[in-house]
Structure 1
Amino acid sequence: MIVYIDMDDVLCNFTEAANQDLKLNPAIQFPQSQYGFYTKLRPLPGAINAVNALLDSDKYTPYILTAPSVKNPLCYTEKRIWVEQHLGFEMVNRLIISPNKSLLKGQYLIDDNHTGRCQSEFEGKLLHFGTSLYPDWASIRKYLDV
């Protein structure tokens, strides 16, 4: 079964980094537009172990499905660097960057948003990360049994 995993605020802590940048420089309208923003993001607790468990599973084939930031054209490269640094080269080959998440076919989409990037039109099941049903990676792993 194919599992797509969003990056920002699912694998890595986008909000924390954006808030820190805004505190340091309130004049920055879009922190994610700054050079190096995506490469400095910290992984969320349990995210790396969960992806590795999915990779080791005979049941699932995980991919990273992330939307590009139109505020930072370097995000394509920076997100790819982040994936290699934190998840290894195997996941680089499983990185998909698309503004429309409904274009891909699979069984699961793990995403912190249910709209904005056509998540609601995804044909599989949306596991809405950060909600009461799926608040963290432990709950996702329990649901997927990995």
Structure 2
Amino acid sequence: MIVYIDMDDVLCNFTEAFNQALALNPAIRFPQSQYRFFTALAPKEGAIEAVSALLASDRYDPYILTAPSVKNPLCYTEKRVWVGDHLGMEMVERLIICRNKSLLKGDYLIDDNVTGRRQEAFEGQLLHFGSAEYPDWRAVRDYLSV
């Protein structure tokens, strides 16, 4: 089964870094537009282990499906660097950057948003990361049995 995993606020702490950068410099309207913003994001608790478990599973075929930040044209490269640094080349080869998540065919989409990037039109099952049902990686792993 194909599993797509969002990056920002699912694999890495985008909102936390965004709020910290904004607190340090409130004059910056788009903190994510700063050079190396995406490469410096901290992994979410349990994310690295969950991706490793999905990769090791005979049942799942995981990919990262992330939308680009149009406020930072370097984010395409920076997200790729983050994936390489934290998840290795195997996941770099499974990195998909696309603004419309309904274009891809798969069984599961793990995302912190249910709309905004056409998640609601994804043909598989959307696991709403951070929701009451899937608050963290432990809940997602329990559901997927990995």
TM-score normalized by the length of structure 2:
1.00
CA offsets, 1:47-90, max 9 Å, x none? 00000000000000000000000000000000000000000000
Query: C-alpha separation between the residues in 2 aligned to 1:120 and 1:18?
Result: 25
Match of 1:35 in 2: 35
The residue that corresponds to 2:62 in the other structure is 62
Where do 4+ consecutive residues of structure 1 move more than 6 Å?
Answer: none
| 1:96 aligned partner | 96
SS in 2 for 1:40: coil
1:80 matched residue in structure 2: 80
- Structure 2 partner of 1:8: 8
**TM-score w.r.t. length of structure 1:** 1.00
Distance in 2 of aligned mates of 1:138 and 1:49? 10
Aligned length: 146
> Are 1:19 and 2:25 an aligned pair?
no
Cα displacement (A) at 1:145: 0.2
**1:65 aligned partner, one-letter code:** L
The Cα of 1:118 is off from its aligned counterpart by 0.2
Structure-1 residue corresponding to 2:45: 45
Residue 107 of structure 1 deviates from its aligned partner by 0.2
Unaligned runs of 5+ in 2: none
Cα-Cα RMSD: 0.3
Residue 28 of structure 1: CA displacement? Answer: 0.5
**Could you tell me which residue of structure 1 aligns to residue 123 of structure 2?**
123
Q: Percent identity?
A: 75
What displacement does 1:6 show?
Answer: 0.1
